[in-house]
Amino acid sequence: MSFGITDPHLTAMDDDDTPQGEGLGMEKLVREMLICIGEDPDREGLAKTPRRVDRAMEFLTAGYRANVEEVVNDAVFEEGFDREYDEMVLVKDIEFYSLCEHHMIPFFGTIHVAYIPDRKVIGLSKIPRIVEVFARRLQLQERMTQQIAGCLTDVLKPRGVAVVSEAKHMCMCMRGIQKQNSMTTTSAMIGAFRDRPQTRNEFLSLIRGNG
């Protein structure tokens, strides 16, 4: 495989930018798969497909090679916040794209993330980047939601964290039950969002646009 150290927040390289000779492991597997499904991997339209798939998979699974500490870097701030500060911080409608680990077929949607600080806050742009770290892996939506909540809890030690993800799974749309309009929602509530119904309801109202 040509998988190397990749920043998941960089724009994907063009499909044809991979130097010839790299990624031979993945390319060989894709070539064999094309033969198995009855295709000719040497025809013009497919000649570069193994290389393109290698590059695509490198990008789509970049979360395996990402380090949360490096992503967060110096973006956690303590100065100027009273210990009694308990206002909710919410970033909603974060787009994500991931691959279901059962079929390696995409699922995608939006994630809403909120936390209640205990003196520490994080740069707002880091929250979507944390989402990317966990989305760019073979995933279960349920696990990804828990991982994002757990990561923010570990980094900030806040009073509470809430994460809700809403996704469409192509494995349900393209195969199996073939229900194109179905959506899946998962949630993780930690601390104040689990213990205080008023706080949880405020969060849910805000992400529904009722706040």
Catalytic annotation on 171?
yes
Catalytic annotation on 101?
yes
Selected catalytic residue, list 32, 78, 95, 102: 102
**Block residue for tokens 């949607």:** 109
Selected catalytic residue, list 58, 100, 132, 139: 100
Selected catalytic residue, list 58, 139, 151, 169: 169
Selected catalytic residue, list 27, 112, 132, 141: 141
Instruction: Answer for the pair 112, 90: CB distance below 8 angstroms, yes or no.
Output: yes
Selected catalytic residue, list 103, 151, 173, 198: 103
Strand order in the sheet with 106-116: 138-139, 89-100, 106-116, 160-169, 184-191
Catalytic annotation on 100?
yes
Selected catalytic residue, list 32, 78, 95, 101: 101
Catalytic annotation on 20?
no
Torsional sign, CA 173, 178, 183, 189: negative
Selected catalytic residue, list 9, 166, 171, 173: 171
Catalytic annotation on 180?
no
Active-site annotation, residues: 100-103, 141, 169, 171
